[in-house]
Amino acid sequence: MPETTSSRGGSHCYVELRGVQWRLGLGILPSSPSPSIDDLRRVTANYRRRYAALRKQLLVDPHVPKDGSNSPGVVMDNPLSQNPDSMWGRFFRNAELEKMVDQDLTRLYPETGSYFQTTGCQAMLRRILLLWCLSHPEYGYRQGMHELLAPLLYVLHVDVERLSEVEKSHKDHFADKFDGFTYHENGDSTYKLDFKKFDGSDSDKSSAKANNLTELDPVTQTIVLLSDPYGAESELGIVLSKKFMEHDAYSMFDALMSGAHGVVSMAEFFSPSPYGSSLTGFSPVIEASSAMYHLLSVVDSPLHTHLVELGVEPQYFSLRWLRVLFGREFSLEDLLLLWDEIFACDNTKCKKVEAEESSNCGVLDSPRGAFISAFAVSMILKLRASLLATGNATSCLQKLVNFPNDVNLEKLVAKAKSLQALAAEVNSLNSIMLVHNEVKPASARGHSLSLDSSSYPRTLLNVVPESYWEEKWRVLHNEEEHKQGVGKEEVPKIRKGWSERVKLRLSRTETDPPPLMKTVSIKLPEEPSSVIRSLFGSDENKENSVCDEVVEQQGSVEVADKKFGSGEIPLNFSDPPSPIHGLENSSVASNSSVDENEAESCGTHREGCPPVGVSAVSNGPPSEYDIQNDESTGKSVAGVKERSFSGKFLWLRKFEQNGVEGATCEGCDNSCESSKGETVDQNTMVSLRNLGEAMLENIQVIESVFETGSPENGKVTAMSALNELRKISNLLSQM
């Protein structure tokens, strides 16, 4: 039996006894303060009593009359009774459950000679699962629970075998010398108390007879003490006991499923309903999967964006990983090692700096959860090369689902440990928002109508129901209101207003950008001509306004690159951001890509937009790449300005055509209206989106006006912006 190294102080003696080790880790056996053998025994005995009582209560034999009296009328209690409370009714329900369980059990580790296929083991597994499901009717039986239970039983079995080995080699510590004493009537006055005479067993030549317990090595000593039938709680307290294997396995399984007052409870992964205090309203599996994806994005952003672009949602493959704690990805021996690590992690809830319960992914919020998430990420990283090489989602999924068998588990575990701290930290960030981000970006691709190639599968988008996104949006919005600073409040509020109408809304990457990603906020230079400035100004506002569209920063960059192909587009904005809002950062990012969206949507709506305003723009470029602390404008423009020229051209065209300043807003409004009129066959939502953007842009204009301290043109702009807003609201109300 492979030995595990335990880092828990005070439990070194149990190092070789996985069953005990795991019970300590799962919280069944008290782990702190360092418990005495007696304590362990007592706790074990208590658990066993509980299980026995449960079994008596729940396993129904319809023939046995209840309370000794004749059953309450045969009318109630006949086999065909429709009454759900009747004994027969319960019996049939149990029988159905048993059938389901049996289906799974027959397929558990089916290789010949497997311990799990022996009848004894199968019977135990069946009973344990049945009783657990009956005592937790809200979960029922789900496929996968048997796979969680099987290794638990296995380690107990191994421990018991170990015990019998030790017994054989140290017989006299186990021999109960109270039976079969014969009274020797021999003439010679031998001392009757000479035990060696009565010791009928053959002398052990293999091991030295250690008469004194303390002479044994500590492990054996512990084993002896743990299984002493005269210790605390006598036979019920023998910690390694074959007779009570079922009881122990049940308590381990129960602790694992319910989390044993910790955070990570496996049962949550089987339930479709949202986890306790979760704001997102998703099932815990989805939350956990997205937390894992979030960690991946922090750790290895290119891979993450690649997967997201392909539309590989995390729960497709991680459902199986999480529900069975990686039981299907590794062989049994490897799995035992892995679970050693998992159970060695503490399962108590992480303490956060501020008590913001809402802000974390509740399901994985403990060191154990962090480790699980980190391990999943390290598994994905292992397949990095092949994942990055494939261009379509199905084969990516195939690779992830058929995880190679011959991996070096230690390496994966080591990597997971190194990521564990990061995972814990990441978990406590705004992971809910990123839940949205992770799940939605795929649809962003779908909406950028002309974006890129058809290689990105869009079929996955259709699966998501409309209200799903709306809901997410609302929740996200609530989140943001709490978290983000004041400066952002206006923007989200506005968005909320029309988000209801828009289907398939996407959240914005408002969160702290991943550390690997360097974003640049590049602001307008302070002194282009006022005309141009206002042109840009409104344009920027428009761009800012579209913050809510999510495209991954990198993804957009890449796409943009392909789109425009201008060689000098700096892909890597290496300048560090000056003190900038999170908003600006993210809006930078989203702006860049959104520009293209805008550009494209504009492009499709209006034909033949002559790129006008190049001159205006061209004044700008040299200064655009300067980073400036621009509190006055308070605007940020994506450095990808250059790239977005054509996009801007389309917008600017309108501006120029319609005049300067105040006309800009009208321009956008007109364009929106025209867009609505022209593109009847386009989605209404696209036009709605444009409307919304227009609104936002107007509001940004007003914002900027106030920030700049209202110069004259600013006032006019503000007024016109307000007018436009009114018009748009009329439009919307008419729709």
Partner 1 sequence: MVLVLALGDLHIPHRAPDLPAKFKSMLVPGKIQHVICTGNLCIKEVHDYLKTLCPDLHITRGEYDDDARYPDTKTLTIGQFKLGICHGHQVIPWGDLDSLAMLQRQLDVDILVTGHSHQFTAYKHEAGVVINPGSATGAFSSITYDVNPSFVLMDIDGLRVVVYVYELIDGEVKVDKIDFKKTTN
Contact set with partner 1 (CB under 8 A):
63, 73-75, 78-82, 92
Q: How many residues does the chain have?
A: 735
Q: What would the two tokens of residue 697 be? A: 């842009």
**Residue whose token pair is 């990808």:** 640
Give Cβ neighbours of residue 543 (< 8 Å, ≥ 6 apart): 587, 591, 594, 595, 598, 637, 638, 644
Q: What would the two tokens of residue 317 be? A: 């493959």
How far apart are CB 326 and partner 1 at their closest, in Å? 37
- Give the three-class secondary structure for 522: strand
For CA atoms 578, 581, 587, 589, the dihedral sign is: positive
Distance in angstroms (rounded) separating the CA atoms of residues 368 and 362:
12
How far apart are CB 78 and partner 1 at their closest, in Å? 5
Nearer to partner 1, 76 or 210 (CB): 76
Give Cβ neighbours of residue 371 (< 8 Å, ≥ 6 apart): 341, 342, 345, 416, 417, 420, 423
What does 187-236 look like in DSSP terms, one character per residue? SS---TT-HHHH--SPP-SSS----SGGGS-HHHHHHHHHT-TTSTTGGG
- Give the three-class secondary structure for 503: coil
Characterize 691-712 residue by residue with b for buried, 16 or more Cβ atoms within 10 angstroms of its Cβ, and e for exposed.
bbbbbbbbbbbbbbbeebeeee
How far apart are CB 74 and partner 1 at their closest, in Å? 4
Q: What would the two tokens of residue 320 be? A: 């199986």
Which residue from 225, 181, 264, 54 is spatially nearest to 275, judged by alpha carbons? 264
Q: Report the chain's C-alpha Rg in angstroms.
A: 34
Contact between 250 and 132 under an 8 Å Cβ cutoff? The reply is: yes
Contact between 616 and 652 under an 8 Å Cβ cutoff? The reply is: yes
Give Cβ neighbours of residue 190 (< 8 Å, ≥ 6 apart): 184, 197
Q: How many helices (H) and strands (E) does the chain have?
A: 32, 0
Distance in angstroms (rounded) separating the CA atoms of residues 500 and 87:
51
How far apart are CB 100 and partner 1 at their closest, in Å? 13
Which residue from 625, 623, 627 is spatially nearest to 578, judged by alpha carbons? 627
Nearer to partner 1, 102 or 235 (CB): 102
Which runs of consecutive H residues, i.e. helices, occur in 300-408?
301-310, 314-323, 332-344, 367-382, 384-389, 393-401
Nearer to partner 1, 80 or 208 (CB): 80
CB atoms inside a 10 Å sphere around CB 516: 13
φ, ψ for residue 417 (rounded to 5)? -65, -40
Instruction: Indicate the angle between helix axes 409-427 and 367-382, nearest 10 degrees.
Output: 130
Contact between 244 and 236 under an 8 Å Cβ cutoff? The reply is: yes
Which of left, alpha, beta for 484 (phi over 0: left; psi -120 to 50: alpha)? Answer: beta
Contact between 231 and 225 under an 8 Å Cβ cutoff? The reply is: yes
Distance in angstroms (rounded) separating the CA atoms of residues 172 and 162:
17
Q: What would the two tokens of residue 267 be? A: 């049962």
CB atoms inside a 10 Å sphere around CB 194: 10
How far apart are CB 101 and partner 1 at their closest, in Å? 17
Contact between 241 and 327 under an 8 Å Cβ cutoff? The reply is: no
The one-letter amino acid code at 200 reads G
Contact between 363 and 438 under an 8 Å Cβ cutoff? The reply is: no
